[in-house]
Amino acid sequence: MSLDDIQARIRKAEQDAGRPEGSVRLVAVSKKQPDGRVASVLEQGHRIFGENQVQEAATKWPGFRDRFGEIELHLVGPLQTNKARQALGLFQVIHSLDRPKLARTLARLSQEEGQCPDLFIQVNTGEEPQKAGVLPAEADDFIVDCRGMDLPVMGLMCIPPVDEEPSLHFALLAKIAERNGLEGLSMGMSSDFEKAIALGATHVRVGSAIFGERAY
Ligand SMILES: *Cc1c(COP(=O)(O)O)cnc(C)c1O
């Protein structure tokens, strides 16, 4: 697949869902990809990328920003509080606000720095013990708490369990967002982004379908 193919599939899925063209943003997840592949997607004009580790992003993106100018960088992986300040300097959007302690840290740091990235609250829709995110039953209260701290919460994010139908999880996330008046929905990856768009995704996070398999 190429960037163009993925963009075309996104436009088609928007159309099929009766949604306006351009209502879905493509976050190209470049974690663990060779620099050459990332540079090639930058050369095609794409400017929205996702990483899942602060450290990896800090090594990779300052150089690309020097070469290619302004890039909107999204953190899609877990954030440790001791890396939060560094993350504030690197990312325009954080998709993984997943616990009260991180919310308090981001609130304090953004006061100090006078700015805060746009935030998505991660919901553990499958209630998987090994997965980050607030439980669906705790989401409403957590959203209220985050708003009370003046955090710029734009929407919700989920990563469905690998062995379940993702649409059920996308629908649950959309329902929680709707009843809390949140517009943003970060959901859908390489294997299921069209289903996510059908259920209202505003941000799809696509890695291997654009760049190829990751090198570990
Ligand atoms: C790696 C990753 C993606 C992209 O996954 P693909 O299957 O390669 O599209 C999306 N979201 C998160 C949180 C990730 O860690």
189 lines ligand 1 (CB under 6 A): yes
Domain at 33, CATH number = 3.20.20.10
pLDDT at position 215, please?
A: 76
Whether 215 maps to a domain, the answer reads no
95 backbone dihedrals φ, ψ, rounded to 5° = -95, 0
**Which of ligand 1's atoms lies nearest the C-alpha of 96?**
13
pLDDT per residue, tens digit, the chain (216 aa), is 689 999 999 999 999 999 999 999 999 999 999 999 999 999 999 999 999 999 999 999 999 999 999 999 999 999 999 999 999 999 999 999 999 999 999 999 999 999 999 999 999 999 999 999 999 999 999 999 999 999 999 999 999 999 999 999 999 999 999 999 999 999 999 999 999 999 999 999 999 999 999 976
Domain of residue 67, residue span: 3-210
Whether 79 maps to a domain, the answer reads yes
Closest of 48, 12, 38 to residue 214, by C-alpha: 38
pLDDT at position 216, please?
A: 66
Whether 65 maps to a domain, the answer reads yes
Best residue for ligand 1 mutational test, from 130, 205, 206, 211 (most atoms within 8 Å of Cβ) = 205
| Total count of domains within the chain | 1
206 lines ligand 1 (CB under 6 A): yes
Whether 216 maps to a domain, the answer reads no
Q: Distance between CA atoms of 165 and 162, rounded to whole angstroms?
A: 8
Whether 160 maps to a domain, the answer reads yes
One DSSP character per residue, 144-174 reads HHHHHTT--EEEEE----TTS-HHHHHHHHH
**Which of ligand 1's atoms lies nearest the C-alpha of 76?**
13
Whether 133 maps to a domain, the answer reads yes
Whether 149 maps to a domain, the answer reads yes
| Residues 6 or more apart whose Cβ sits within 8 Å of residue 42 | 64, 67, 68, 71
pTM attached to this predicted model: 0.97
158 lines ligand 1 (CB under 6 A): no
User: What's the farthest any 2 CA atoms get from each other in the chain?
Assistant: 45
Whether 74 maps to a domain, the answer reads yes
